[in-house]
Structure 1
Amino acid sequence: MAKTLVLLGAGTGLGPAIARRFGGAGFRVALVARNHERLAALADQLGAEGVEAAAFPADLARPAEIPALVDAIRNRFARIDVVSYAPLDLNGFTPAAELTTTTAQRLLDLYFLTPIALVQAVAGELRARGEGSILISQSVSATQPAPVLSGIGPAMAATRNYIQSLAAEIAPDGVHAATLQIGAMIRGSGVHAALLSGAIAPNSEFPEIDPADIAEALWELHAKRDTSDLQLP
């Protein structure tokens, strides 16, 4: 049976690149994001390229709904082999002095609590099979605090800490967990579009990066399993 990638955050930019990289290696792809129409269109595009894909609309800021989502994916594909988590919320671009508890809670749900819920939902299957990967893509603010990124930074830092602990625990069972910190603007992403439109202020310190390069790095994390923490570029 073909392996399955669960791609959470399958919107513009990085998501399609990850789907194509893993799909090109024979993986079927479960596409998860909020926008049903965009997901359906991407599933059709991947199908035309020879990649079996299906859309699963979901709000990833609702960790309590993750078990039902994972059950639906298992019902469709029968197995889960790799989880790639790379959602986006522009509310994370918030100055520390303006961050509210309401915004912080949503960002914690999206970037920290949902990854925990995912691990609870899939780790048992992966450990029982003795293989698989859990890959979390984040902003470099998880390790390098920066002005105007106080929303996502603390939540992602917590997730990085959690995943590093998890990696050491599940490695003996043949399962790999890793975080990828991205210190560049992803071309074609929602953040990149917001920057070009002027919705967020430009930051000259951030270079641009091709989403295909990130997708390749994630593939290497899964295939080589030689590190649980990586930064690009």
Structure 2
Amino acid sequence: MSAGTPKTIAVFGAGPALGLAVARRFGREGFRAALVSRTAARLDELVATLAAEGVEAAAFPADLADPAQAEAAVDAIERRFGTVDVLEYSPGGLSLGFAPTPITETGPAELRGPIDLFLNTPVGLARRVLPGMLERGEGTLLFSQGTSGRHPLPMLGNVGTAMAAMRHHVLTLNAALAGTGVYTGLLSIGGGIAGSEVHALMDGAASSSDGPALPEVEILDPADLAGLLWDLHLKRDRTEETAGNFGV
């Protein structure tokens, strides 16, 4: 990369809450944003929003539940922007392709979807971008997940199992990369994210008298979470950060 060329953050799982906030936060520091998620129309809206705020961005549709599609998105990003300097992975939303399953009902079939989304795809993305980062002697890999990867939440058995494996991979990868100039960090989120699809669902369930009462879960500002990810990238003084009050 020549002097003066903007750096690029690739946001995998770009949506109207956390993904947009991450692109904004890094965009304020001069980064271009490559936005990756399954829905092309929503990506186009996010690109337009960022452009109106002075952040250069581009859309790269891909289904993160398919590791091959996610890695192909890296190829497209590199053709457009040259390098991926920061990769941020935060899949979310309601259309995950699988349902959370209690641990007592979790078997191999219930693990397949979560393992692809929360382990196979991020592991494949890390392996895909690491050679270039190591050659340049700099780079950041950031991952976000729920707190079921850190603390037992029996009702999220299949999801928590996959997230725990992802967490182990991130922490171990960071240890292996010590001294290379490449950093990996993890944000564990124990709460709802304001403006997200899940937050809207929680609001609907809370206002309904039907069904079981939901636990009190802190609603987190996506801008604050994006700030934590920026802080991890900037300071590199810890491998993991947590936010929220649920399962922390």
Between the aligned partners of 1:219 and 1:138, the Cα distance in structure 2 is 16
In structure 2, what is the equivalent of residue 209 of structure 1?
Answer: 220
**Aligned-residue RMSD, C-alpha:** 1.7
1:156 is aligned, of 158, 163, 173, to 163
CA distance in 2, matches of 1:219, 1:182: 15
Distance 1:202 1:157, change over 3 A: farther
Aligned amino acid, residue 157 of structure 2 = S
Using the TM superposition, give the Cα deviation of residue 202 of structure 1 relative to its aligned residue in structure 2, in angstroms. Answer: 5.6
The answer on 1:20 being equivalent to 2:24 is yes
Aligned partner of 1:29 in structure 2 is 33
Residue 14 of structure 2 corresponds to residue 10 of structure 1? yes
Consecutive unaligned residues of structure 2, counting only runs of 5 or more, are: none
CA distance in 1, matches of 2:153, 2:213: 14
Q: Within 1, Cα distance between the matches of 2:213 and 2:41?
A: 30
2:142 equivalent to 1:131? no
CA deviations 1:122-172 (Å, max 9, x no partner) are: 011111111111000010111111132113111110011011110011121
Give the Cα–Cα distance (whole angstroms) in 2 for the partners of residues 166 and 185 of structure 1: 28
- Measure, in 1, the Cα distance between the counterparts of 2:189 and 2:90: 11
Residue aligned with 1:39, SS: helix
1:25-84 CA deviation, whole Å, 9 max, x = no partner? 110000000111000010011011110000011000111233321111100101110010
Q: Secondary structure at the match of 2:170?
A: helix
Question: What residue number does 1:73 align with?
Answer: 77
Q: Does 1:101 align with 2:108?
A: yes
Q: Which residue of 2 aligns with 1:60?
A: 64
Call closer, same or farther: CA 1:194–1:127 in 2, change over 3 Å.
same
Bigger mean CA deviation after superposition, 191-200 or 12-21 = 191-200
Aligned pair count reads 233
Name the CA shift for 1:69/1:53 in 2 (closer, same or farther; >3 Å).
same
Q: Which amino acid aligns with 2:138?
A: E
- Show structure 1 runs of 4+ deviating over 4 A: 199-202
Structure 1 pair 142/44, CA: closer, same or farther in 2 (3 Å)? same
Q: Is the Cα–Cα contact under 8 Å of residues 14 and 214 in structure 1 kept in the other structure? A: yes
Contact kept? 1:6, 1:31, Cα under 8 Å = yes
Contact 2:63–2:70, Cα closer than 8 Å, also in 1: no
Shift of 1:201: 6.2
